[in-house]
A and B are shown apart, each in its own frame.
Chain A
Amino acid sequence: MSELPPEPWSRRRFLKNLSQTVGALALVGGIPEIGRAAELTQSDGSLIVRLSRPQDLETPVEYLDTSITPNPVFFVRSHFGPPAITKEEWRLEFGGLVDNSRSLNLDDLRKFEIVSLPATLQCSGNGRAFFHPTVPGVQWYRGAVGNALWRGVRLRDVLKSIGTKSAARHMQMRGYDSAPMPTTPSFTRSIPIERALDPSTLLAFEMNGEPLPLLHGGPLRLVVPGWAGDHWYKWLRRIDLQEKEADGFYMQTAYRMPVQPIPSNNAASAPEIPVTVNPVKSLIARPLEGSVMLPGDHLVSGIAFTGVGHVVNVEVSLDGGGSWNRAELEGKESEGAWQLWRYRWQASAKGAYAIAARATDSAGRVQPEVTSWNHGGYLWNGIDQVHCEIA
Chain B
Amino acid sequence: MGPFFRIVGGEQALGKTVQFNRRTCRGRKWFVIFASFLISTHFLVGTASCEVQRAEADEMRAHCEICHDRGMIFQQRLTPAQWLAEVKKMEKWGAAVPADQEKSLVDYLSGQFKAGSVPMAAREASSVTLLDSVKPLADPARFHGDARAGQGVFTDACGECHGPDARGKQGPNLVQQPILYRFNDFQEIVMRGRRTMPAFSGVLDRKQLENLVAWLRTQQIH
Contact = CB atoms under 8 A, between A and B. Distances in A.
Most buried by A among B71, B116, B181, B222: B222
B92 A83 contact: no
Interface of A: 8-13, 42-55, 57-58, 60, 72-73, 76, 81-85, 129, 133-136, 138-139, 174, 176, 178-185, 213-215, 237-238
Contact of B72 (A51, A76, A214): A51
Interface stretch (B28-36, B45-53, B119-127, B139-147): B119-127
A180 B126 contact: no
B66 A180 contact: yes
Most buried by B among A42, A50, A58, A73: A50
Given A51-B72, A134-B77, 17 more contacts: A8-B122, A45-B126, A47-B125, A49-B124, A49-B130, A50-B71, A51-B71, A57-B130, A58-B122, A72-B131, A81-B178, A134-B116, A178-B221, A178-B222, A182-B94, A214-B135, A214-B178
B173 A178 contact: yes
Contact of B130 (A42, A47, A82, A129): A47
Interface in B147-196: 163, 167-169, 172-173, 175-178, 180-181
A174 B66 CA distance: 24
Interface in B71-118: 71-72, 75-79, 82, 85-86, 92-94, 115-116, 118
B69 interface: yes
A44 B94 contact: no
Contacts of A82: 134, 178
Contacts of A81: 134, 177-178
A181 B126 CA distance: 30
B67 A184 contact: yes
Contact of B122 (A49, A83, A136, A178): A49
A51 B125 contact: no
Contact of A52 (B71, B175, B176, B180): B71
Nearest to B90: A184
B24 to A, nearest CB: 20
B119 to A, nearest CB: 5
B139 to A, nearest CB: 13
A45 to B, nearest CB: 5
A60 B124 contact: yes
Given A82-B134, A182-B168, A13 B121 contact: yes
Nearest to B182: A84
The A interface is mostly helix, strand or loop, or mixed, namely loop
Contact of A8 (B118, B125, B168): B118
B69 A44 contact: no
Given A42-B128, A57-B130, A134-B78, A129 B119 contact: yes
Given A12-B124, A46-B124, A50-B75, A183 B94 contact: yes
Interface string B1-22: 0000000000011001000000
Nearest to B216: A84
A148 B72 CA distance: 27
A91 to B, nearest CB: 10
B75 A138 contact: yes
Contacts of A84: 136, 176-178, 180-181
Contacts of B78: 134, 136
Contacts of A11: 121
Contacts of A135: 82
Contacts of B86: 136
Contacts of A8: 16, 118-122
B123 to A, nearest CB: 5
Contacts of B173: 178-182
A45 B134 CA distance: 18
A184 B95 CA distance: 9
A215 B134 CA distance: 8
Contact of A51 (B69, B93, B167, B172): B69
Nearest to A9: B121
Contacts of A182: 94, 163, 167-169, 173
Contacts of A215: 131, 134
Contacts of B222: 174, 176, 178, 237-238
A45 B129 CA distance: 10
A85 B136 CA distance: 10
Contact of B93 (A46, A76, A184): A184
Nearest to A129: B119
A183 B92 contact: yes
B194 to A, nearest CB: 11
Nearest to A216: B131
A346 B181 CA distance: 55
Contacts of B79: 133
A377 to B, nearest CB: 11
Nearest to A133: B115
B135 A46 contact: no
